[in-house]
């Protein structure tokens, strides 16, 4: 018996969850600089409550957060190592990072975020020493100036001069500050760009701040599948097999849904988000989708004798992909902004919205 689109989609989502490579991010910086507050904001979680910390050295604790596809390595502040032990502390951190390079991908350090509290008004020699040593290991490192809402732009500019040429970002965890969280979305983009493809998708999925980064990666996924559909479509597909063609898009839709991680917003609007079923929406609209595409693309259906060509297969893939991405983007935006009433109205009209998006996205 042929499996439904929803069943195939569930299988693909499960497969992604089982095979995903999680990026490891090392969090460095002094005590009280706001590392936990920042990561809690980015990943919409509370490490203290949901993370199970496992010491890997005396200086570093590993946190694998529940329902997240990133692993955080949090260091104690070097102040806690004692005045006479700071050099030893720095050497141990560098030794840990260096040793990780020789391990399998799952155990390597992929990114380093070095936090400096802007309101402290200084970059210490210890900061510079550790930053430069990690940079020499050729591991992507960025300086994150925290609590920038408490200082002037000029004061942050002076701090930035001290750590050049290391890339730096100004951030705050105060959600009222505009532009939104200052450079936080840029930090997300930089982090994504410095990860390999498998690690990148896991990171983009886990972060809950930069929706444009989610959309950009979803577009890349769609383009990959459009190309695949066009190649496969050189073998004409009978119109009667349109439901099979739809089922073949399950991998693409699963990757898109994975990137947006709608379940990751459950704490914000748990009741409403439980009603979201992109797979069911596509599955029940399957014949309509195929039929509409035959109407929308000039000449198809009348000149091909009911044969779905590679062009139609590619158009179908694009229409489904971009429509699903736009729906996920809108739902995520409402959830992040706390716009519960707007989300409720949107979810009630999801079927006609999806159909309209399919029409808009069918011409590529």
Return d(Cα 78, Cα 58) in angstroms, integer: 12
Report yes or no: 150 and 33 within 8 Å, Cβ to Cβ.
no
Q: How far is CA 60 from CA 69, 176, 212, 269, 356, in A?
A: 19, 32, 32, 34, 51
Closest CA to 114 of 22, 194, 187: 187
Each residue's pLDDT tens digit, 314-356: 777 888 899 989 988 998 998 888 888 898 888 888 888 888 8
Q: What is the pLDDT of residue 203?
A: 96
- Same structural domain for residues 169 and 234? no
Each residue's pLDDT tens digit, 209-233: 999 999 999 999 999 888 766 555 5
Give the range of the structural domain holding residue 215, as residue numbers without chain letter.
5-16+210-361
Closest CA to 143 of 116, 110, 122: 116
54 contacts: CB under 8 Å, gap ≥ 6:
61, 62, 63, 64
- Same structural domain for residues 242 and 181? no
- Same structural domain for residues 261 and 140? no
Instruction: Answer yes or no: is 188 within a domain.
Output: yes
- Same structural domain for residues 73 and 148? yes
Q: What is the pLDDT of residue 284?
A: 56
Return d(Cα 38, Cα 329) in angstroms, integer: 23
The DSSP code for 109 is -
- Same structural domain for residues 144 and 219? no
Q: What is the pLDDT of residue 189?
A: 97
- Same structural domain for residues 248 and 336? yes
Domain count, the chain: 2
- Same structural domain for residues 33 and 176? yes
Instruction: Answer yes or no: is 200 within a domain.
Output: no
Mean pLDDT, the chain cut into blocks of 10 residues (364 residues total)? 67 85 93 88 74 77 84 80 72 93 91 94 91 95 95 93 93 82 92 92 94 96 80 49 59 89 71 66 56 50 52 79 91 87 85 84 64
- Same structural domain for residues 35 and 150? yes
Phi-psi region of 32 (alpha: psi -120 to 50; beta: other; left: phi over 0): left
Q: Give me the CATH number covering residue 124.
A: 3.40.50.300
- Same structural domain for residues 121 and 57? yes
- Same structural domain for residues 311 and 215? yes
- Same structural domain for residues 59 and 118? yes
- Same structural domain for residues 182 and 220? no
């Amino acid at each position: 018996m042929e499996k439904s689109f929803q069943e195939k989609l569930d299988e693909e989502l499960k497969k992604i969850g089982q095979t995903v490579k999680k990026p490891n991010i090392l969090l460095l910086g002094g005590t009280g600089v706001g590392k936990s507050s920042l990561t809690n904001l980015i990943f919409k979680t509370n490490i203290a409550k949901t993370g199970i910390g496992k010491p890997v050295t005396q200086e570093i604790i590993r946190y694998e957060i529940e329902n997240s596809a990133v692993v955080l390595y949090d260091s104690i502040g070097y102040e806690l190592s004692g005045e006479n032990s700071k050099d030893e502390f720095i050497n141990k951190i560098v030794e840990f990072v260096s040793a990780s390079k020789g391990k399998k991908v799952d155990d390597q350090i992929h990114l380093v975020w070095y936090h400096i509290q802007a309101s402290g008004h200084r970059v210490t020699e210890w900061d510079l020493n550790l930053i430069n040593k990690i940079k020499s290991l050729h591991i992507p490192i960025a300086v994150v100036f925290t609590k920038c809402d408490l200082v002037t732009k000029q004061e942050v500019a002076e701090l930035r001069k001290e750590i050049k040429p290391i890339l730096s970002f100004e951030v705050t965890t105060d959600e009222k500050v505009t532009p939104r969280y200052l450079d936080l979305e840029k930090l997300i983009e930089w982090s994504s760009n410095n990860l390999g493809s498998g690690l990148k998708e896991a990171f983009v999925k886990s972060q809950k701040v930069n929706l444009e980064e989610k959309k950009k990666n979803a577009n890349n996924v769609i383009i990959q599948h459009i190309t695949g559909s066009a190649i496969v479509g050189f073998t004409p597909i009978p119109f009667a097999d349109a439901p099979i063609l739809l089922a073949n898009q399950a991998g693409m839709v699963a990757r898109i849904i994975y990137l947006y991680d709608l379940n990751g917003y459950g704490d914000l609007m748990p009741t409403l988000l439980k009603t979201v079923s992109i797979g069911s929406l596509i599955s029940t609209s399957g014949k309509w989708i195929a039929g509409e595409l035959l109407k929308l693309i000039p000449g198809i259906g009348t000149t091909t004798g009911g044969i779905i060509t590679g062009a139609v297969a590619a158009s179908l893939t694009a229409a489904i992909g971009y429509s699903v991405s736009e729906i996920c983007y809108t739902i995520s935006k409402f959830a992040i902004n706390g716009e519960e009433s707007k989300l409720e109205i949107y979810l009630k009209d999801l079927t006609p919205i999806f159909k309209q998006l399919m029409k808009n996205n069918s011409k590529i």
